[in-house]
């Protein structure tokens, strides 16, 4: 067909009269402008990570987003005691192996989570009443789990959530049967199983320097390190609600002074203001020995507590303004 000049002109006039939406930036599978992991590494940190597991990695855009934007993964559930040794001596590493394979194939650091925790603990462990049995059971669990991934895990949460809100010891089978000595037993077994992994104590509600729990953590960790217990780091989980970011820099300054290294390990912020995310980044950036930040999930609706949209990606796997706030805070640090 031969088009006359008039046809062409009137067609183009028609096109330009139709309001054209702003073109979407081409983000591909990244779904975000720039990798927060790469940005944090450029600032001298080791990683910006997230938790995940094989089920999530096989769903939606999770794997693509993690490959493009994060540099570290923590198994959300697959390495816990109930998942790995649900009955005595019978180990199951299916999902944990899948997580480790994803991480090694894609050059992601791993934070192992977790060997000794009162929760997600099978009944056969919590019903043990004598010291010798519990000691052997802990040593065997730690050496089998950590030994399997020896040399592949950057850091392990050797003990998770051992303190109460006042900074004393939470009631658990480990404390009730072995007293404080369970800390030494766990860390010595961990050191023997994977001598190069960084060994952490991890807990929540360590979000203000003056809290009894934060002070208890600092006091105990200093004491244990002085006794030669091989603790490398304190992990502050960082499960926050709006406004709580304000105290995070002070809390991390206090915690990071008590151990060779420290990290924010499970961050999510319900109903976050931009300032909360900026403060979380500052909390780690301000401390030379804070190695990195891990958020507890990719998408809001996959969070363990989805109310208040606590994460960095929305239900369509799009980076939220929270993501860009984190990126800007990293770049400004």
- State the residues that interact with ligand 9MR by CB under 6 A: 76-77, 119-120, 160, 204, 237, 266, 304
Q: What angle do CA 39, 106, 70 make, to 5 degrees?
A: 30
Shortest separation between residue 133's beta carbon and ligand 9MR, angstroms = 25
To the nearest 10°, the Cα dihedral for 70, 71, 72, 75?
50
What is the Rg, in whole angstroms, of the alpha carbon atoms belonging to the chain?
23
Closer residue to ligand 9MR (CB): 41 or 121: 121
Closer residue to ligand 9MR (CB): 135 or 160: 160
Q: What angle do CA 262, 266, 269 make, to 5 degrees?
A: 120
Bond preceding residue 181 cis, omega within 30 of 0: no
Shortest separation between residue 328's beta carbon and ligand 9MR, angstroms = 27
Q: Taking CB positions, which residue lies at the least distance from ligand 9MR?
A: 304
Closer residue to ligand 9MR (CB): 79 or 284: 79
- Single out the catalytic residue among 85, 161, 188, 261: 161
Bridge partner residues of 234 (DSSP): 201, 262
Is 29 in the active site? no
Closer residue to ligand 9MR (CB): 201 or 330: 201
Shortest separation between residue 262's beta carbon and ligand 9MR, angstroms = 16
CA dist., res. 136 & res. 70, Å (int): 37
Closer residue to ligand 9MR (CB): 311 or 329: 311
Q: What does the DSSP assignment read for 243-280?
A: TGGGGHHHHHHHHHTTSSEEEEEEEEEET--HHHHHHH
- Single out the catalytic residue among 76, 85, 261, 266: 266
Bridge partner residues of 269 (DSSP): 240
Q: What angle do CA 100, 54, 38 make, to 5 degrees?
A: 60
CA dist., res. 198 & res. 153, Å (int): 9
Shortest separation between residue 165's beta carbon and ligand 9MR, angstroms = 15
CA dist., res. 156 & res. 153, Å (int): 7
Shortest separation between residue 120's beta carbon and ligand 9MR, angstroms = 5
Q: What angle do CA 69, 73, 77 make, to 5 degrees?
A: 135
Shortest separation between residue 8's beta carbon and ligand 9MR, angstroms = 60
Closer residue to ligand 9MR (CB): 116 or 329: 116
Is 266 in the active site? yes
Active-site amino acid positions: 161, 266
């Amino acid at each position: 067909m031969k088009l006359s000049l008039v046809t062409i002109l009137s067609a183009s006039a028609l096109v330009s009269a139709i309001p054209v939406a702003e073109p979407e930036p081409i983000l591909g599978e990244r779904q975000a402008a720039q990798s927060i992991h790469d940005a944090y590494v450029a600032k001298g940190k080791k990683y910006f990570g997230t938790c995940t597991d094989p089920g999530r990695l096989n769903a939606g855009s999770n794997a693509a987003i993690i490959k493009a934007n994060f540099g570290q993964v923590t198994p959300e559930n697959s390495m816990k005691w109930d998942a790995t040794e649900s009955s005595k001596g019978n180990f199951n590493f299916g999902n944990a192996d899948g997580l480790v394979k994803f991480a090694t194939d894609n050059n992601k650091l791993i934070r192992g989570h977790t060997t000794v925790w009162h929760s997600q603990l099978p009944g056969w462990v919590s019903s043990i009443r004598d010291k010798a049995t519990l000691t052997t059971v802990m040593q065997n669990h730690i050496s089998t789990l950590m030994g399997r991934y020896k040399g592949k895990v950057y850091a392990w949460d050797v003990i998770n959530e051992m303190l109460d809100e006042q900074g004393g010891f939470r009631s658990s089978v480990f404390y009730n049967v072995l007293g404080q000595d369970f800390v030494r037993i766990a860390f010595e077994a961990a050191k023997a199983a994977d001598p190069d992994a960084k060994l952490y104590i991890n807990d929540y509600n360590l979000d203000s320097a003056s809290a009894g729990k934060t002070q208890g953590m600092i006091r105990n960790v200093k004491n244990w390190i002085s006794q030669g217990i091989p603790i490398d780091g304190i992990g502050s989980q960082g499960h926050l609600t709006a406004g709580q970011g304000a105290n995070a820099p002070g809390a991390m300054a206090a915690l990071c002074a008590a151990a060779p290294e420290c990290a924010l390990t499970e961050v999510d912020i319900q109903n976050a203001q931009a300032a909360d995310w900026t403060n979380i980044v500052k909390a780690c950036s301000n401390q030379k020995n804070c190695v990195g930040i891990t958020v507890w999930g990719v998408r809001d609706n996959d969070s363990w507590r989805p109310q208040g949209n606590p994460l960095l990606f929305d239900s369509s796997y799009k980076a939220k303004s929270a993501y860009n706030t984190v990126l800007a805070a990293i770049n400004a640090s």
